[in-house]
Structure 1
Amino acid sequence: MKEAKKEYYKIEILNYLMNKEVVSTSQLAEAVGMSEKSIRNKIYEINEFLKENDMGIIQKKPRVGIWLECNDEQKERIQAILINKNATFNRDEDSNRMDEVLKIFFKLRPWETVTTQKLANELYLSSPTILKVIRECEKWLLNYNVSIVNEKNKGYRLDCNENEYRIAMKNFLMKDFNVEKIKSNIDYFFYNIDTKLIQKAIIETENEWNYRFTDESFYEIFIYCCIAYQRKDIQSPVVKDENEIMILQKYNEYPFTVAIFKKLQDKFHILFSNEEVFFLATQMMCSKFIGISAVDEMVEQVSKYDNRLIDFVDMSLRIVGSILDVDLSKDEKLKESLIFHLRPTIFRIRHGFSHTNSLSNFIKTEYKNVFRATMSISILFEEYYGLQLTEDEVGYIVLYIQSAIERMHKHFKVVLIVDSNRAQAQLISERINKSIREIESIKIMSTHDFKLYGDSEGDIVVATTQLDIKDPRIIVIPNLLSESGIVSLREKMTSLFYNKQTKERFFSPECYPLLDLDLLFVEQEFNTREEVLRFMAQSMVDHGYVTKHFIDTVMERENATTTCIGNNISVTHGAQSEVIESKVSIAVLKKPIPWNDEEEVDMVFLLGFKMASPDEIKRIQLFYKEYISIIEKEENIEKIKSMKTNIDLYKFLIQ
């Protein structure tokens, strides 16, 4: 209501100026019913709108007055806006303009086009502004591999395949996920369809199958069904992979989709193609629409029809467990969770829907060792599925593995050294217990008692001040009542856990074949990510370790996902198919270079790994384990960066 009132006053002001030659601010304020200060603010907003859309300008001259300066063509366009009840003068309406243009594009059939002039007339905008909005639309559509092409003497149209069109349109209709707006969009695009009948078919199937969708999932299926009906005589979705269809048919999503389309066919007395069923079932797989309550039912399905996924999960747990020195293979809950997660993940990545993970940066920092170990299975994923496992997807897997590790190691006994009053000691104890679930018990002692009697049962000794005692269990954190103090305690506990049974070591003899003096580079200077990677890859090509196409697969991975792992380090790799002999190249840069929009890198590991035999797999597992033990320590990173020759670096790595 407030916004409508603002627009009303702007229209009244512009109407008044259209009918007067020159007026004063006081005359205008009296005519519209506003204060002179408010009039001046509104004049500014209207003037910016007019200038931006090439509709003239409001001139102001002291002691003379205010007047509207425009030609006849501009005056006609202003008049059209004044007649339009939905007119708006807000300058921050770029998003709304983009939405209006996208609506027009999505309503076009594949062979139809729209001209700049027609868009300008429909939206009451100038041609330059329309061109600017089209560029904004192009950016939005690029996320779905949809482009806007301009056909000479015809106009603009969307260029994409049918699958891309439908996914983009569905996401456009559900933009910002506002139910009322979604309903309005459905009414706008499918006004010629009995959408209530489609809705009824989905709800009936949902009830018969005893599934309960979230609102978001329901509307996604609803929109896809509306699109299928509307475009049944225009174009069918594309079915790409027969093997994928064979697997898809074994899962619950497929018969559920068949049931929906069967109801639609009965209600509308029409036939839908098999491609429509496969497309919607695939979207369900990608988005995990159906929440199967019995996980064991889903795992049983996978065990029967998708042995490759079972094998991949088993192999992944062996690899990551070996690197972290923990046995993950016996954790059935972890195995089931990964199967449940990876089943739709494979479909998502294959169809370009890889999910973003807002926790990625936190995961890389908080669980960096698990993250680095889990990155090792990305090569295995490419081998099994021919797909890039992105950093965001790795992050989700890390959370499952970290949870499993915490289940295995959740019994830390803590000795808390506090010399303040008992009440404060108890407060600190409760704060730690509440914040860190891995702690089983806390024993409170004074410095005097600890020095006198000691304690042999505690795994960790936490003190608020430095103690003149040599004990590797001691952690000193002055501010245990603060959030930063708890974070510091958790970090040191994690470090203690990973290092308490791990002796100081670098690469063992089994890994030496992966190292080559000629692939180690120190004090290098590069300006871009591509420069350093091409230099390293070319060195591997020159020595016959990889094919000349290896660099293309490296850059493809870099463009697909970030390879930064923290501490200004990047670890990347190319496709196994382009590797002749497994090798590692390392480059240490004199100064950091931008690696992505947020991170810089001054140390690069380029991996050319081929896992064609059990011995090679074991060697690469061992490499990951030992490489993590090296770079997890700041002093090791600093030593590597201080090396003056490749020989120094080689000697350091094999000491």
Structure 2
Amino acid sequence: MDERSVHLLSHLTHAKEYVPIKEIIDKLQISRRTLYYDLQKTNDWLKDQDLEPIKNVRSLGLSLPEATKQKVPALLQEVDTQQYYFSEKERRNLLAVSLITTRSPLFLKDLMRKIKVSRGTTIHEVNKLKEEFASFQLHLHFQRTDGYIVEGDENQKRKALLYYLSHILAADGWNHLVNEIQVLLNGELNDSAYEIEKNTLSFIHEYFPFIEELVRDSVTKYGIQITDEMYQQLSLRLLIFSKRLLEGSTIHIEEEEKEVLCTTPEYEVATYISKRLESMFQVSFPEDEIAYLTMHLLGISIRVDQYEFDYNEVTENLKWIIEQMVFDFQRYACVFFQDSPKLKEDLLNHLKQTYYRLKYDLVIDNPLVKTIQQTYGEVFQLTKKVIHHLEDYIGKSLNEDEIGFLAMYFGGWLKREGTKPQARKRTMIVCGNGVSTSQLLQSQIENLLTTVDVVNILSLREFDEKAAYHVDFIVSTIPIKHTIPVFHVNPILTDIEKETLLNKFNLLIQRKTWSPRYSIPALMDIIQKHTTIVDEKKLKEELVQYFSTEKQTLSKGVKPVLQELLTEDMIQLQQTTMNWKTAIKLAAQPMLANGSVLDEYVEAMINNVIELGPYVVIAPKIAIPHARPEQGVKRMGMSLLTLKDGVLFEKSDNPVQLMIVLAAVDKESHLKALAQLSELLSNEKDVQRILAADNKQTVLELIARYSQN
């Protein structure tokens, strides 16, 4: 057994129906060939355990027999250490935790025994860890008498521990079995040992439920709102802090910083939690540790109710920063947020946490960042262009995890605005990844299932499997059970997952109104003639599922590249005009001529500048006039105009010589071409080439080059 095999079994254990091959490939990020290799290996292991193997049914996918599902979790927890092989990622995570927390010398042979690989592979992993530790300002070196030693500040050690333990103890529900195996193989569970002697993973495994209860009590008592994911994060941090204190490793906070932290509402919460931890572990929490815990609370809590959102200098600065970020995002994306006050309110709650995480250099992992970059690449890039306002204020750069969280807010709002679907079916979302994730998932569902309304969003803590919810089905990012049909999805849906969800929804509807093309009783008669039926009811259900589902596929959303919009007939060079109004009219002429926009659209662009100011001037010499799709756009388009002499917009002292008029049909279809245009306009030399060009071929060659990105 290895990590991929366990992930495969875990996923199928929680699946209620057949899982399409493409969905599993996307989920595990492997090739089809690798999946079939893993499938054979996993089925061999199941046969060794006298269990039915995984079924692979053409056009339906993979399924685990019910009897196997019932026994797999217990068997995985009893897996022989010699039967389990760590992945490279697992090896490095486990070595990192062991090296930072060891209380006895660790030599190469000890590390080899721990991860069960050769001397050469172990040395390779140690060298990789040296590089990773350097990013935490930690130094890993070898001493002949003491073995491998990790040197560095305690704050950096805790940061590294949080990073590696977060990857070992993943929060996703269907990864739970993998976590159990890793604790079992490395935790050396020994309840009779003193806390100080217990392996870190064993310590976490034993006390995690108690700490989660403490966190639940604390946030209820003080009215703190945090997401399910942050519950896990806070619980893990409390355990790391407690274990380090038990081992005599303490934090130091500067007196001036402590004085500031003592004035925050979160300090009272930290004091309460510390007292409870002191009682639980019989260890003293000094003031520096309470202040340190306060920093972490500031970085993960949404608000403290009784204080609302204290309007201090930081709050006012963040509000101004959000105004600039939203304004710039709308400029760069050429969109208008109709409900921007609500977006700004949500961003304010989020940026408060981001501010304190950056200020105190706190690590947070965004498990969705790669998916966000792949699925919403243009939104991610646009978000990167507007975060400098926050970075300049704090004096630190945002990493890709933090940018991903912000991109989810902007991406969610891009999708949710517009016409809401007619209320025919009702659903609710159960989500453990937070507000921004649930908003993004809501918009995806409402765009995909146009006859469905999302009527409620619950966290895993708020969800009660025995409660009566007045919905037709439930969409959950975490495996849950309920009498109402539950569709388990990822927070960000891939195309195959959208197709799967669409087909499941159609099947749910068809079960009530289905008029079959095939007679199930007749098929059952044929089957009975040639075989023994073990479960007649289940067989009928699966036959209905197979024959009733009209497989639907999604056509890819049309996102043209830059050269498909800026064609030769859309370009005008070295023109002369009186002022910015006539410049906009002139720039829009090619799109008026080919019917992409109406006259009303040109007037709307001019009126927007009069009402909102020169927001279309996005850089020196460059403007991108645009208006809302409903103000006269017939089809997506873009036109380019260069002027011999620049024109000044009102309230602007920056003459514009390059004008690109954009006509968007929605808030997303134009983003790929716009991202390519943005990259072109970021290159000053290429902008100068366009401004100096007196023939269209020069401009078209530049556009073609950037259209490849």
Normalised-by-shorter TM-score class: 0.3 to 0.5
TM-score by length of 2: 0.43
